[in-house]
């Protein structure tokens, strides 16, 4: 398991999410590069003429303030890529809550703050569309027939099926499974040391997510080869896949496609076996096998397999980065960490018996720590939609073709909304805080029709993992180092995430 997971997490964060700069710098290396450079050139010319045309024909409209750039086509890609939050906060100061800028030939319009964000969360999918921006990335990974490959009403039905599968009876089982996986996994850490916490939690969460979301058959098959397939598939979530034409014969694209086919085949066999055996296990796989659309049609095997892939990947990076950041916030504040440990005893009993779902709910300090981690380090830093129809926000006209964005990270720390905004302060949720009056000031799981269905599971998972870890160890920063943020990954991960730990007596 150790080797499996290690190989996997290395690939997760090295193969995937390469910055544009990275992509561009490799352009001279092979024949593909020639194609890339040519398409870059064509796109630039096309882009410049399109902008000129647009500007001359829409003089009467009041467009959002546009942040100028002297670099054609690429625009602000480099500055944004280096430090997106700083870029957005500076723009907010200078231009207000709604502004536009160009990156890689695309115009992005950000809606910052709760009021401006309302446009995105109240909009219909036909107007501000998710498939147009996400499908290119997700469809090769999840496959056809699910998520952003299907009309949104159908995806909404699929989300509902998944939500049915994520119920309290299941969570009660999940707590036991996750506690057992965590104890077993961390045996390899021994009594004390310094280790990469993020790598460990990434490995652990593949195991727990696989057990809880896929079921025992698929978890039982999670060996080195399957782990590598997940890693190759995950490599599909890269800036390259988002920016470059899908037909390019890049090795990472080919790996992704092969992994997709092989994983699907593994899942098909499991589904087929489950269907044949008549064994009605109480798990999500069974929920999906038994589910039907409103018109009575059951899910076919391809849809089920696609949803299983989606479940794993949607829950993997989001939960593992959040858990890792939470560990560093607790390690930085020893007093808070001790209070969380004391809460374990106060709520569950002095002798710390095995965790149980009902007690987990009462761990309110731990819960506020998680909530605060998601405020300062929300894993999804930007939600995006394509404007298919003209929109207005804050008195500005947003034309068709703009990529409209909302950033949880920025909303979660706006000066106007949050008191002591950069402090990790779980107690802020006990007091009357100004953000409570603003509907979209706190949106780590999004809102509206695209809202996350995994919130409750994520809370159960992360609270179980951290309850277990707090009982096992005391944590410290290594020589006071609190990880800086790695912005080159699509989900903002901690840099050099090594933590010091000592077994509790
Ligand atoms: C800490 C954990 C998680 C965070 C912070 C998170 C965050 C988000 C956010 C921000 C969205 C909205 C995306 C958008 O509007 O463009 C979303 C959607 C979604 N998430 Fe999560 N998520 C988490 C865990 C999970 C888990 C565990 C699952 C599955 C079990 C999951 C499944 C989904 C699904 C199906 C959607 C719907 C996408 C749509 O309708 O367009 N998420 N999540």
User: How do residues 34-61 score in pLDDT, each as one tens digit?
Assistant: 444 455 555 555 555 555 555 555 568 8
Residue 34 exposed, middle or buried by CB count within 10 Å (0-12, 13-18, 19+): exposed
What is the 452 CA–ligand 1 centroid distance (Å)? 4
State which ligand 1 atom lies nearest to the alpha carbon of 462: 1
Tell me the Cα Rg of the chain. 23
| Nearest CA owner, ligand 1 atom 16 | 383
Residues contacting 487, CB < 8 A, separation 6+: 81, 82, 83, 84
| Per-residue pLDDT tens digits for 347-384 | 999 999 999 999 999 999 999 999 999 999 999 999 99
b/e burial code for range 75-101 (CB count within 10 A of at least 16 → b): bbbebbbeebbebbbebbeebebbbbb
How far, CA to CA in Å, does 91 sit from each of 76, 88, 140, 355, 395? 12, 5, 34, 46, 18
CB neighbours of residue 353 within 10 Å: 9
CA–CA separation, 39 and 383 (whole Å): 27
Q: Of 392, 399, 375, 444, which is closest to residue 118 (Cα–Cα)?
A: 392
State which ligand 1 atom lies nearest to the alpha carbon of 380: 10
- pLDDT grade for 246, boundaries at 50, 70 and 90: confident
Segment among 99-113, 286-300, 382-396, 428-442 with least mean pLDDT: 428-442
Cβ 99 vs Cβ 109: under 8 Å: yes
What is the 275 CA–ligand 1 centroid distance (Å)? 29
CA–CA separation, 246 and 258 (whole Å): 15
- pLDDT grade for 235, boundaries at 50, 70 and 90: confident
**DSSP character for 381?**
-
Q: Look up the pTM and report it.
A: 0.89
- pLDDT grade for 461, boundaries at 50, 70 and 90: very high
Question: What is the CA 175 to chain-centroid distance, rounded?
Answer: 22
| Per-residue pLDDT tens digits for 465-503 | 999 999 999 999 999 999 999 988 778 899 999 999 999
**Residues at the annotated binding site for heme?**
452
Average pLDDT of the segment spanning 235-256? 88
The CATH T-level fold of domain 141-503 is: Cytochrome p450 (1.10.630)
Mean pLDDT (the chain, rounded): 89
Task: Give the residue carrying structure tokens 């008549």.
Answer: 278
- Site to probe by mutation for ligand 1, drawn from 446, 447, 462, 466 as the one with most ligand atoms within 8 Å of Cβ, is 446
Q: What are phi and psi of 378, to 5 degrees?
A: -65, 130
Higher per-residue confidence, 74 vs 44: 74
CA–CA separation, 402 and 317 (whole Å): 28
Question: What is the CA 124 to chain-centroid distance, rounded?
Answer: 22
Higher per-residue confidence, 488 vs 166: 166
- Site to probe by mutation for ligand 1, drawn from 131, 376, 454, 456 as the one with most ligand atoms within 8 Å of Cβ, is 454
List, as one string, the DSSP characters of 288-337. HHH-B-TTSPBPPHHHHHHHHHHHHHHHHHHHHHHHHHHHHHHHH-HHHH
Write out the two tokens for 114: 């709760």
Strand order in the sheet with 473-477: 192-196, 498-503, 473-477
Name the strand (E) or helix (H) holding 261.
helix 251-277
**Residues at the annotated binding site?**
452
User: What residues flank ligand 1, with Cβ below 6 Å?
Assistant: 130, 159, 213, 311, 314-315, 318-319, 322, 378-380, 383, 444-446, 450, 452-454, 457-458
What integer pLDDT is reported at residue 158 of this predicted model?
98
């Amino acid at each position: 398991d150790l080797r499996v997971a290690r190989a996997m997490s290395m690939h997760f964060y090295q193969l995937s999410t390469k910055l544009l700069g990275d992509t561009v710098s490799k352009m001279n290396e092979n024949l593909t590069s020639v194609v890339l450079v040519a398409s870059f050139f064509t796109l630039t010319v096309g882009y410049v003429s399109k902008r000129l045309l647009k500007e001359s024909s829409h003089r009467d409209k009041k467009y959002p303030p546009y942040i100028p750039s002297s670099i054609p086509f690429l625009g602000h890609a480099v500055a944004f890529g280096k430090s997106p939050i700083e870029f957005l906060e500076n723009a907010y100061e200078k231009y207000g809550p709604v502004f536009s800028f160009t990156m890689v030939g695309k115009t992005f319009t950000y809606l910052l703050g709760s009021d401006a964000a309302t446009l995105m969360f109240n909009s219909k999918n036909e107007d501000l569309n998710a498939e147009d921006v996400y499908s290119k990335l997700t469809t090769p990974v999840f496959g056809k027939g699910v998520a952003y490959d299907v009309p949104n009403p159908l995806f909404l039905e699929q989300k509902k099926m998944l939500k049915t599968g994520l119920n309290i009876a299941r969570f009660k089982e999940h707590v036991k499974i996750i506690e057992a996986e965590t104890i077993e996994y961390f045996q390899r850490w021994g009594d004390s040391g310094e280790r990469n916490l993020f790598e460990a939690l990434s490995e652990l969460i593949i195991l727990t997510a696989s057990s809880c979301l896929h079921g025992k058959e698929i978890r039982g098959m999670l060996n080195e080869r399957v782990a590598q397939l997940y890693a190759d598939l995950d490599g599909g979530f890269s800036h390259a896949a988002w920016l470059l034409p899908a037909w390019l014969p890049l090795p990472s694209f080919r790996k992704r496609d092969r992994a997709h086919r092989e994983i699907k085949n593994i899942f098909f066999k499991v589904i087929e076996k489950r269907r044949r055996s008549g064994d009605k296990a109480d798990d999500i796989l069974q929920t999906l096998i038994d589910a039907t659309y409103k018109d009575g049609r059951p899910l076919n095997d391809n849809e089920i397999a696609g949803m299983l892939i989606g479940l794993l990947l949607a829950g993997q990076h989001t939960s593992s980065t959040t858990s890792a950041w939470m560990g560093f916030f607790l390690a930085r504040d020893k007093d808070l960490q001790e209070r969380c440990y004391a809460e374990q005893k106060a709520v569950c009993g002095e002798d710390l018996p095995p965790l149980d779902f009902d007690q987990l709910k009462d761990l309110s300090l731990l819960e506020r720590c998680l909530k605060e981690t998601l405020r300062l380090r929300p894993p999804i830093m930007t939600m995006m939609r394509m404007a298919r129809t003209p929109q207005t926000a804050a008195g500005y006209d947003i034309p068709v073709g703009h990529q409209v964005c909302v950033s949880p990270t920025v909303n979660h720390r706006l000066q106007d909304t949050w008191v002591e905004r950069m402090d990790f302060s779980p107690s802020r949720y006990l007091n009357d805080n100004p953000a409570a009056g603003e509907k979209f000031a706190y949106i780590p799981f999004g809102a509206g029709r695209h809202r996350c269905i995994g919130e409750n599971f994520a809370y159960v998972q992360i609270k179980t993992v951290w309850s277990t870890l707090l009982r096992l160890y005391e944590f410290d920063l290594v020589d006071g180092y609190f990880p800086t943020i790695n912005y080159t990954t699509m989900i903002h991960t901690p840099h050099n995430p090594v933590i010091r730990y000592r077994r509790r007596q």
